[in-house]
Amino acid sequence: MSEKGNADSEAPPVVLVANRGEIAVRIIAAARRIGASPVLAASAADADSPAARLADRVIVIGPAPVAQSYLRPELIATAALQAGASVVHPGYGFLSEQPELAELLEIEKIAFAGPRPETLRAVGDKSSARKVALAAGVPVAPAVEVDDVETVAGLGDSIGYPLLIKAVFGGGGRGIRLVNDAGELARLAPQAAAEALAAFGNGALYLERFYPAARHVEVQVFGDGEGRAQIFGDRDCSVQRRHQKLIEECPAPGLSVATRAVMHDASRALVQALAYRGAGTVEFLVDTQSEAVVFLEVNARIQVEHPVTEEAYGIDLVAAQLRLALGWDPELPDVPPVPSATVIELRINAEDPENDFRPSPGTISRVRWPGGPGIRVDTQLEDGYRFPPFYDSLMAKLIVRAHSRDAAVAAARSAAATVEINGVTTTLALHEFVLSHPDFIRGGVTTSWFGPTWEHRSEQRMASVR
């Protein structure tokens, strides 16, 4: 690891923030917290963003399109050199899980706030991640790789229906298809291969058993890079639309002690087997019918929903990532598997939930957030901010902590109701709906709950207007 961070006790180490939006603001805050100097690598569209103004310096790496800026490892590495950075924090998305950036930085002796490049490769494609998981004794779903899309029917029978067609190199829920019988499989597999080739540059597919009524539960891990693993509880992220998470909470409600132990133990084994370095997440499906737990994937980065864990345990995961990358003690305590508080995060996106979640970029004329006990807002919004059309639709995360789940749901509902965002349409309406819904209040909805439930509401509203 680089010793640059401590080499000169006069000058604070420089942290290059290689991301944008709310997570850039978040990383800058963590850099300040550890006494480092944050420098932002920004596209021309973000050169005057709120994150840019919070940083000590901004380095413009390219034009607005991500393919010419945030997705170019050599531009980020050049910016890190220009900044005199001791460490680069990639945030989530963009280059966070690309071994190329981590390798370029290794050559330049600049630390990367993430796992080693070989770890990124080991968990980066799903079939290799699955092999790693199997070797570590982590429970996985029945699955098989596709050799030839023209003769998949037999493979489908060996897994059983329903099943999912997934791209080996896919991510973010893209390119996943649900198949109910052999006929559908034969028809959809070639399409899926073509789509995967176009989207991910590789058409390799695998088939995986589908659990129609499952929850998405994930475990927050932190490794010291030498085989020591710390577990920071779990999160339920089952409120999703088209595989995009909308609401997350810590801890996952209503899990039996045994189910939780399976996930935590498996995650610990995986971190130890990989000698995993830094923050990561191990994602699982929990079948609500059988309570079976199956491994989904490893997210080798800080995640969007990391604040629920931070608030539940009173820790700073991003600061810990930076400290570890600088060769310092990450200063993370050992914590119990279940925190004493419940934390809920609402993702507020620039989308119109009443119109099929249509994108809604534009200028934020005025924005006001709630305050009070247990309320945290991670955002880049400010009055007059022009929400750019070039990037993703996440505007803010409203994070609410309370002593019990019931209290957290009520507090989140009340906090959401007082949020004021003028100028663009947001997904706030869906949060008010979900937080008032008896199924969500009871806890433990499945990943296929939100879609049809929201559609049903929309139909009822249409009917009542007539």
Partner 1 sequence: MTDDATPSWQHLLDLVAQLDSGSYDSASVTYGDVSVQLSRSGPLSAPVPSSASTTPATTSPKPSGTIIASPMIGVFYRCPSPGAPPFVEIGASVEPDTTIGIVEVMKMMNPVSAGVNGTLTSFLVRDHEQVEYGQALAVVAEASSQ
Q: Which residues are designated catalytic?
A: 301
CB of 60 to partner 1, least distance (A): 4
Q: Taking CB under 8 A as the rule, does residue 226 contact partner 1?
A: no
Q: Is 69 in the site for partner 1 (CB under 8 A)?
A: yes
Compare residues 57 and 376 and give the one whose CB is closer to partner 1.
57
Sole binder of partner 1 in the list 1, 29, 78, 432 (CB under 8 A)? 78
> CB-based burial of residue 334 (10 Å sphere; 0-12 exposed, 13-18 middle, 19+ buried)?
exposed
In 127-201, at which residue ranges do the beta strands (DSSP E only) sit? 143-145, 163-167, 177-179
For residues 205 and 164, is the Cβ–Cβ distance under 8 A?
Answer: no
Asked if residue 202 binds partner 1 (CB under 8 A), the reply is: no
Return the residue of 16, 27, 54, 59 that touches partner 1, per CB under 8 A: 59
Identify which of 338, 234, 227 has the alpha carbon closest to the alpha carbon of residue 281.
Answer: 234
> Using CB under 8 A, which of 24, 36, 79, 237 touches partner 1?
79
Q: Alpha-carbon distance 91 to 318, whole Å?
A: 9
Instruction: Select from 75, 110, 129, 152 the one that contacts partner 1 (CB under 8 A).
Output: 75
> What is the rounded distance in angstroms from the CA atom of residue 433 to the CA atom of residue 302?
28
Q: Is 32 in the site for partner 1 (CB under 8 A)?
A: no
Give the residue from 265, 231, 237 showing the smallest Cα distance to 250: 237
Judged by CB under 8 A, the residue of 23, 54, 66, 286 near partner 1 is 66
Q: Determine which residue in the list 1, 29, 60, 186 makes contact with partner 1, applying CB under 8 A.
A: 60
Minimum distance between the CB of residue 205 and partner 1, rounded to whole angstroms? 20
Please, which residue, 79 or 341, has the CB nearer to partner 1?
79
What is the x/- site pattern for partner 1, positions 366-405, by CB under 8 A?
-----------------------xxxxx------------
3-state secondary structure of 276: coil
438 and 449 in contact (C-beta within 8 Å)?
A: no
Using the contact rule CB under 8 A, the part of the chain among 91-99, 356-364, 410-418, 446-454 near partner 1 is: 356-364
In terms of Cα–Cα distance, which of 201, 213, 142 is closest to 167? 201
* Lookup: tokens for 197: 């080739």
Please answer whether residues 353 and 458 qualify as being in contact, where contact means their C-beta atoms are separated by less than 8 angstroms: no
For residue 396, give both structure tokens. Answer: 């803010």
Rule CB under 8 A: say whether 104 interacts with partner 1: yes
Kind and range of the H or E run holding 87: strand 87-89
Q: Which CB sits closer to partner 1, 48 or 420?
A: 48
Q: How many CB atoms lie within 10 A of CB 48?
A: 12
Shortest Cβ distance from residue 171 to partner 1 (Å)? 13
**Which range, of 9-17, 56-64, 181-189, 414-422, touches partner 1 by CB under 8 A?**
56-64
Q: State which of residues 139, 225, 254, 359 lies at the interface with partner 1 (CB under 8 A).
A: 359
Binding mask 147-176 for partner 1 (x = CB under 8 A): ---------------------------x--
* Sign for the pseudo-dihedral over CA of 430, 432, 435, 436: negative
C-beta of 66 vs 159, nearer to partner 1: 66
Tell me whether the omega of the peptide bond preceding residue 162 falls within 30 degrees of 0, making it cis: yes
What six digits make up the tokens of 416?
Answer: 């959401």
Using CA atoms, how far apart are residues 218 and 393, in angstroms rounded to an integer?
A: 23
Are 208 and 166 contacting, i.e. CB atoms less than 8 angstroms apart?
A: yes
CB-facing half-sphere around the CA of 362: CA atoms within 13 A: 16
Interface with partner 1 (CB under 8 A), residue from 64, 136, 186, 407: 64
> Of 1-9, 75-83, 86-94, 432-440, which part binds partner 1 (CB under 8 A)?
75-83
* Rounded Cα gap, residues 128 and 147, in angstroms: 16
> What residues from 33 to 52 belong to the interface with partner 1 (CB under 8 A)?
44, 47-48
- Contact status, residue 283 vs residue 298, Cβ threshold 8 Å: yes
Complex with partner 1: residue 77 or 302, whichever CB lies closer = 77
74 lines the binding site for partner 1 (CB under 8 A): yes
User: Is residue 63 close enough to count as binding partner 1 by CB under 8 A?
Assistant: yes
Establish if 358 lies at the interface with partner 1 (CB under 8 A).
Answer: yes
* Contact status: 356 vs partner 1 (CB under 8 A): yes
Question: Distances from the Cα of 244 to the Cαs of 62, 232, 343, 433, in angstroms?
Answer: 28, 23, 19, 17
Task: State the Cα–Cα distance between residues 396 and 404, nearest whole angstrom.
Answer: 24
CB of 66 to partner 1, least distance (A): 7
Out of 92, 357, 369, 433, which residue is the one contacting partner 1 (CB under 8 A)?
357
Which residues form the interface with partner 1 (CB under 8 A)? Answer: 44, 47-48, 57-67, 69, 74-75, 77-79, 82, 104, 174, 351, 355-359, 389-393
